A = this chain, B = another copy of it.
Amino acid sequence: MKKTPRRTTIYDIAQLADASPSAVSSVLNGTWKKRRISVKLAERVTQVAEAQGYAVNAQASLLRREKSNVIGMIVPKYDNRYFGQIAERFEEMARARGLFPVVTCTQRDPELEFEAAKELVSWQADCVISTGATDPDRISAFCSAAGVQSLNLDLPGTAAPSVVSDNRAGARVLTALILDRCAAEFGTSGALRFVGGRLSDHNSARRLEGFLEEHRARGIEVPEAHVLATGYSADKAAAALSGFRPTGPTGLFVNSTIALEGVVRWLGELGPAMDLVRYGCFDWDPFGGYLPGNVGMVEQDVEAMLSRVLGMVGEEAPAGEVSYVPCLLREFGADGVSPRTGQGG
């Protein structure tokens, strides 16, 4: 517990354990067997290190090593079930593979994204994973110039391999579900409204494709005014709907849980007209299934996406190659409370 002015180094331990700094180093980093250091010495060193509360100086250690095993990830948000789960599982899975995960949250800000990626390169990351990045190609270009591997997750790029959900297929089955449920519960299924997301963003564009495709397959025309891709913000989703008061059966395709927050706010203002609304959401939240009117949610297969992307670390893969991971569809009961699970995507 004593306060040391300077942190304990291998030289301090060498002195205390009556050994050479090299011996201490190799005992502490596990290469001592290869160096055939005696068990006795190894134990003495370990004990002294423990007693001194020694922690290796990662800076010095990494500076000397050839590979850092640091793997960096940028992620738009933590305070979101999808990205929170990605960050959490990523750290766990990377650790299990003997890597040192470093995650940083960039708030959907392109400038911050780039700065953060640069920072990860500074930290000698062997690989940088851009999750949901606005401009992944800029990051890849920088990484490539620095000789660092880069990979894209969730949103694809053209300058590095990408792993993304099959958004089109997922959106299509969700659209089908909402249309079916409107038909079953209201006897009618007019064109749905598409709420939230940004069409300049690849995922939203693919989801809109799936959305339109399913309508087309059923011979339902979608008026242009039904596409309300107002961005990733609850306020904007609520604002886009605020003037609208349903007078008949209404179905919504909600693109992202953040848009869903806006939608439920709007629903709260409707009063009894709320009963005329059914919706489904692309992206899952544990409370989603208990929201009145919610018929189902698409859950992206985070585990599968991460194991796919982690499998690419250190491997050669053509830039621009996009790997699609199927989504899961979760359907909720007509009472809006008991969730059932199904396959989709």
Contacts and interface: CB of A to CB of B under 8 A. Distances in A.
B338 A268 contact: yes
Interface stretch (A33-41, A176-184, A212-220, A284-292): A284-292
Given A55-B121, A57-B63, A118-B55, A146 B8 contact: yes
A59 B124 contact: yes
Contacts of A18: none
Interface string A71-107: 0000001111100110110011000000011111101
A269 interface: yes
Interface in A21-65: 52-60, 62-63
Interface stretch (A137-145, A199-207, A307-315, A322-330): A137-145
A3 B337 contact: no
Interface string A254-266: 0000001100100
Q: In terms of DSSP, what is the predominant structure of the interface of chain A? A: mixed
A122 B7 CA distance: 10
A77 to B, nearest CB: 6
Given A3-B144, A147-B7, A291-B287, A122 B78 contact: no
Of A4, A55, A141, A144, the most chain B CB neighbours within 10 A belong to A55
A228 interface: no
Nearest to A60: B63
In order of increasing CB-CB distance, the 4 nearest A-B pairs are A53-B145, A268-B337, A287-B287, A79-B84
A225 interface: no
A234 interface: yes
Contacts of A119: 58, 100
Given A78-B87, A264-B290, A123 B1 contact: no
Number of copies: 2
Given A88-B78, A102-B102, A145 B56 contact: no
A2 interface: yes
A107 B93 CA distance: 13
A268 B286 contact: no
Contact of A124 (B58, B287, B291): B58
Contacts of A269: 338
A33 B108 CA distance: 34
A5 interface: yes
A254 to B, nearest CB: 12
Contact of A57 (B118, B124, B147): B124
